[in-house]
Amino acid sequence: MRPAFGGPRLLLRRLREVMAEQISAQERLDKIVVMIAANMVAEVCSVYVLRVDGTLELYATQGLNREAVHLTVMRAGEGLVGLVAQTAESLNLSDAQEHPSFSFKPETGEEIFHSFLGVPILRGGNTLGVLVVQNRAHRKYEEDEVEALQTTSMVLAEMIASGELSALALPGQEPAARRPLHLPGEGLADGVGLGHVVLHEPRIQVTKLIADDPNREMARLETAIESLRAEIDDMLDSEDVARGGEHKDILEAYRMFAHDRGFVRRLKEAIGTGITAEAAVERVQSDNRARMMRQTDPYLRERMHDLDDLANRLMRQLTGEKPTAREDLPENAIVVARHMGPAALLDYDRSRLRGLVLEEGGATSHVAIVARSLGIPTVGHAENVTSLADPGDAIIIDGATGEVHLRPTGDVESAYAEKVRFRARRQAQYAAIRDMPAITRDGVEIKLNLNAGLMVDLPFISETGAAGIGLFRTELQFMVANSLPRTAEQLDLYRKVLDAADGRPVTFRTLDIGGDKVLPYMDVVQEENPALGWRAIRLGLDRPGLLRSQVRAMLRAGAGREVRIMFPMIAAAEEFDQAKAIVERELTHLRRHEHRMPERVQVGAMVEVPALLFQLDELLPRVDFLSVGSNDLVQFMFAVDRGNNRVANRFDVMSPPILRALRLLARKGQEYGKLVTLCGELASRPLEAMVLAGLGYRSLSLSPAAVGPVKSMILELDLRRLAAVLDPLIEQPKEGGPSIRERLRHFAEAEGVTL
């Protein structure tokens, strides 16, 4: 027969009193286990805490041998307790000794207890410890008892997460909840950032766990769910969503979850155990996360984010809290987000922002491009960081290596402080060579230009001593705006860019939108393969109104000066003719209206589509210059999506097929006497830039932070000696794979070239 079970509400009320008492952490834990055991009519109640070393330590017990407290330690995955921690799932057994994972700890005296119920202590889906009750008799705990124990474990989760228990631990054995974490990610924007976590979408802290009136909580939940459903319906009906697109699919999924009976039932059951509606949302979502984090299927993991979003919305319905404003950013803020658009990043106060960490987003995503142009160290693909980081946590990020150190130890902190000092010294060295031209030891000048796109980039021209702007990405102005920038606004920006360049050449690229570069205020056209779709110059030629007004703004901004215009994604020589005809037409228009004309107009094409490699003899006579967009060219040559991390790093660019194509472009340019610049991310990396110089490139366009490192590399380089090793490597790659990167690194080392 089932012994009388006190039910969770009474227990929760008593726990609340204990949590408020002015006693030591150990005394509090000791009281808690006694109360739980009594309430659950269990002979044993024990708390195991996950430690930084990955083991589980017995922190308190009622019923087992007290001497074992702080002595009994289980390895990760060891025994039933280890199993609960590892799977993050409850384990309910009437005969624990029979279970294959049972492991005997003689010091505890637990061999006489047959039944076992263990629940994970979870927070944000992460395991912090395990709570166990045991009985002598062979009994199977009822569903409501399991529920009750899970609810109780939330109180323990708060206690562990508060850091209160750390005082009870030896160094290196502290509770893992606040442990230092080293998360590997992908470096998106160079630089080291030291500071404190600010969550882009702050979690709503549940301050009140225990309900005063469960019926009221049930009613609050029902109202909140109704409002949530209405909110989703409204969003689905709203104009821009109704047109279709990915956003719509996500909202449809939200609607499905919000109506899912299982989801609502679990929330109600949690309230039934005596907690508030907010605590119920947190608990159900924490369980969901724990389960989904252990899934390997990326689709299911993606759904976890959707469920997180939904839970946050429900929480906001309950608390009436609005997403926070960006104004009151603390000093040294490192913003941590799941994902972010470029406009949101610009909302933050630049003077306080020290870094950005994203769970999603690759190197060529737009927020990464903007972060780079703002010089904000950024790391992407930092898995699960938004649930592991708490606001205010100390954090260090390294945008070069992609490392994130959350709650770093003193050692890590001082190592990075040293790194920052070292970088500052390097910066001073770069500043010293700022006004020197980039000339190799054997006397060849390589022009170093900047990639830019926003007003914030302009001071970099003088700060870096760049030769000019080799790629001005005009779409950035469009991407960060809330509505289509008018011609006057474009004209104003282009004028300011030319003013800031102060006579140095500036190459404007016409709008490169479509594909993954969507403008929030423009119709989204659904395409199977957006990277190969209606984008860039294709869109420009099919809807010439926008392209014309843009070209006109460029030409007017360049009154009395040189204007350089280039078109993205040209795939055929004839396409270039059509685009150039628009420039001619606008020039005629300006002349007719007696505007002041540019002194000189140069029109060029970007080489991003491999088909152009086989039309160079047709194309080169028509253009004034070429600019190689290696980001796109490489993605199309290898057929690897530049934004898809699973394939983006599959092939090394430093391998013969790409290098032969790049060499061909440089040689053909020389043959026709036309300037060929390379403006993809390749040029921003010293080893790659060294190779480009070796292939014959005399003009590169790079991110502002790369100018110093690339220039100092060039000053140390002897091009003749490089050419002697490079050509044979490209022609006959030796065994050891197609990449010639290692051999180039050896060359640089032997030559004393710093990469």
> What is the distance between the alpha carbons of residues 667 and 628, in angstroms, rounded to a whole number?
13
CA–CA distance, 344 with 679 (Å, rounded to integer)? 26
Helices (H) and strands (E) in the chain, counts: 28, 22
Task: Count CB neighbours of 639 within 10 A.
Answer: 10
616 with 665: CB under 8 angstroms?
yes
Q: Pairing state of beta strands 56-62 and 44-50?
A: antiparallel
Selection from ligand PEP, Mg ion, none that 129 binds (CB < 5 to 8 A by kind) is: none
Distance of CA 92 to CAs 34, 84, 86, 97, 98, Å? 20, 10, 15, 12, 13
How far apart CA 503 and CA 284 sit, in angstroms, is: 62
Token pair 């060499």 in the structure block, residue = 663
630 touches, from ligand PEP, Mg ion, none (C-beta below 5 to 8 Å by class): ligand PEP
Q: Select 35 or 471, whichever has its Cβ closest to ligand PEP.
A: 471
Shortest distance, CB of residue 732 to ligand PEP, whole angstroms?
A: 28
Task: Name the minimum Å distance from CB 636 to ligand PEP.
Answer: 10
Q: Please, which residues bridge with residue 175 across strands? A: 51
Specify the residue, 632 or 681, whose C-beta has the smaller distance to Mg ion.
Answer: 632
Which amino acid does the sequence have at 269?
Answer: E
381 among known catalytic residues:
no
Question: Which of residues 289 and 509 has its CB atom nearest to ligand PEP in the complex?
Answer: 509
| Spatial separation of the C-alpha atoms in residues 361 and 367, rounded to whole Å | 8
DSSP assignment of 34-45: HHHHHHTT-SEE
Which CB atom, from 158 or from 575, has the smaller least distance to ligand PEP?
A: 575
Least distance (Å) from Mg ion to the CB of residue 375?
Answer: 22
Among residues 204 and 637, whose Cβ is nearest to Mg ion?
Answer: 637
Q: Does 515 bind Mg ion (CB under 5 A)?
A: no
Answer for which of 586, 632, 681, 688 binds Mg ion (CB under 5 A) is 632
Catalytic one among 200, 366, 381, 405? 366
- Which residue lies nearer to ligand PEP by CB, 513 or 722? 513
Distance in Å, CB of 471 to ligand PEP, minimum: 6
Among Mg ion, ligand PEP, none, partner that 152 touches (CB below 5 to 8 angstroms by kind): none
Applying CB under 6 A, which residues contact ligand PEP?
364, 471, 473, 512, 608, 629-632, 679-680
- List, in sequence order, the alpha helices (H) in 259-319: 261-272, 277-293, 298-319
Q: What residues are paired with 47 via a beta bridge? A: 60, 131
State in angstroms the smallest separation of the CB of 607 from ligand PEP: 9
Strand partners, 131: 47, 119
Residue type, 274: G
Nearer to ligand PEP, 473 or 552 (CB): 473
Helix 214-237, helix 298-319: angle, nearest 10: 120
Q: Which is nearer to ligand PEP, 148 or 471 (CB)?
A: 471
Query: Between residues 586 and 632, which has the closer beta carbon with respect to Mg ion?
Result: 632
Cβ contact 668:736 at 8 Å? no
Distance CA 89, CA 518 (A): 42
Nearer to ligand PEP, 473 or 668 (CB): 473
Distances (CA, A) of 745 to 651, 655, 741, 750: 18, 13, 6, 9
The piece of 77-85, 254-262, 357-365, 627-635 that touches Mg ion (CB under 5 A) is: 627-635
| Rounded distance between C-alpha atoms, residue 134 and residue 45, angstroms | 7
**Residue 470 interacts with Mg ion (CB under 5 A): yes or no:** no
CB of 606 to Mg ion, least distance (A): 7
Residue 535, contacted partner among ligand PEP, Mg ion, none, CB below 5-8 A by kind: none
Q: Which long-range contacts (CB under 8 A, 24 or more apart) does 422-429 make?
A: 423/191, 423/192, 426/708, 426/709, 427/708, 429/708, 429/712
Residue 680 contacts which entry, ligand PEP, Mg ion, none (Cβ below 5-8 A, type-dependent): ligand PEP
**Contacted by 123, from ligand PEP, Mg ion, none: CB < 5 to 8 Å by type:** none
Task: Indicate the Cα dihedral angle 124, 126, 127, 133, nearest 10°.
Answer: 30
Q: Residues 200, 381, 405, 679: which is the catalytic one?
A: 679
Q: Which is closer to ligand PEP, CB of 224 or CB of 511?
A: 511
Considering the complex, what minimum distance in angstroms separates the CB of residue 634 from ligand PEP? 8
Taking Cα atoms as reference points, which of 40, 47, 54 lies closest to residue 25? 47
* Smallest distance, Mg ion to C-beta of residue 519, A: 16
For residue 61, CA distances in Å to 15, 30, 70, 83, 103 come to 16, 7, 10, 19, 18
Residues sharing a CB contact under 8 Å with residue 192, sequence separation 6 or more, in sequence order: 377, 396, 397, 398, 399, 400, 416, 419, 420, 423
The two beta strands, 181-184 and 625-628, are unpaired
Check residue 629 for interaction with Mg ion (CB under 5 A).
yes
Measured from the CB of residue 364, what is the shortest distance to ligand PEP in angstroms? 6
Dihedral-angle region of residue 26 (phi above 0 means left; psi in -120 to 50 means alpha; beta otherwise): alpha
Nearer to Mg ion, 36 or 363 (CB): 363
Strand order in the sheet with 186-189: 181-184, 403-406, 394-398, 192-199, 333-337, 353-358, 378-380, 186-189
DSSP per-residue string spanning 636-666: HHHT--TT-HHHHTSS-SSSHHHHHHHHHHH
Quote the CA–CA distance of 738 and 652 in Å, as a whole number.
8
Query: Nearest distance from residue 226's CB to Mg ion, in Å?
Result: 47
Q: How far is the CB of 105 from ligand PEP (least distance, A)?
A: 59
Residues in 597-626 at the binding interface with Mg ion, rule: CB under 5 A: 608
| Residue from 295, 308, 218 nearest 264 by CA | 218
Closer of 49 and 471 to Mg ion (Cβ) = 471
The site partner of 679 among ligand PEP, Mg ion, none (C-beta below 5 to 8 Å per kind) is: ligand PEP
How many residues bind Mg ion, per CB under 5 A? Answer: 3
Q: In what order do the strands lie in the sheet with 44-50?
A: 73-74, 56-62, 44-50, 126-135, 115-123, 91-93
Nearest distance from C-beta of residue 506 to ligand PEP, angstroms: 15
473 binding partner (options Mg ion, ligand PEP, none; Cβ < 5 to 8 Å by kind):
ligand PEP
Q: Would you say 519 and 543 are in contact if contact means Cβ atoms under 8 Å apart?
A: no
679 is catalytic: yes
Compute the least distance from the CB of residue 633 to ligand PEP, in Å.
Answer: 7
Strand, coil or helix: 9: helix
What are the structure tokens assigned to 410, written together?
A: 């003193």
> Active-site residue numbers?
366, 679
Q: Which residues make up the interface to Mg ion (CB under 5 A)? A: 608, 629, 632
